[in-house]
Amino acid sequence: MSEYTKIYEEKMTGAVHHLGKELSAIRAGRANPAILDRVTVDYYGTPTPINQMAAVAVAEARILTITPWDPSLIHPIEHALLVSDIGINPTNDGRVIRLVFPSPTEERRRQLTKDVQKLGEEAKIAVRNVRREAIDKFKALKKTSEITEDDQKNLEEEIQKITDRFTKQIDKDCEVKNQEIMEI
């Protein structure tokens, strides 16, 4: 890999990592602590992520438990969960908050797989935009005679191989998530 393509490969890696975060936040019926990553609790005036103020664990396949380190935080955490967009009503026994994930209906599963495909397409578009940016840069380098025409062609082939690799990775990640959604 050349120094010219390295920066673009890093940008493509960022797009794939972003897709991974987005996919982990999709609630597929299984208890997944990543769904709480976007939920914050007002802790003395500071929005604080739940995982920084409580132990989050998967008790069973569809039950997530949240055990606050400070028992006085149970009600603020419960309130933050109620007003969040996760769509699950928390229950608490005074010490532990439980989130029970319902099994999605067939219609909901189909919608989730469409959402996954849409996120995959957005990630592919981001990767292709990076490829286009790289090719434009290579053409500019050729125009200013910093690289030869053969170098330009080789760099374009190299960036295309990198693009293909990331596109396959995106397809694979989306396929794995869709299988997870349809298994439940």
Please report how many Cα atoms fall inside a 13 Å half-sphere around the Cα of residue 141, on the Cβ side: 18
| Interval 123-149 mean pLDDT | 92
Structure tokens belonging to residue 142: 């050729």
The model scores a pTM over 0.75: no
Crossing angle of the two packed helices 3-24 and 106-143, in degrees rounded to 10: 170
pLDDT (tens digit per residue) in 16-45? 999 988 888 776 666 778 778 778 888 888
Sketch out the chain's domains with CATH numbers. Answer: 3-25+105-183 (1.10.132.20), 33-100 (3.30.1360.40)
Average pLDDT over residues 2-8: 84
pLDDT tens-place string over residues 78-130 = 888 888 877 778 888 888 888 888 777 888 888 889 999 999 999 999 999 99
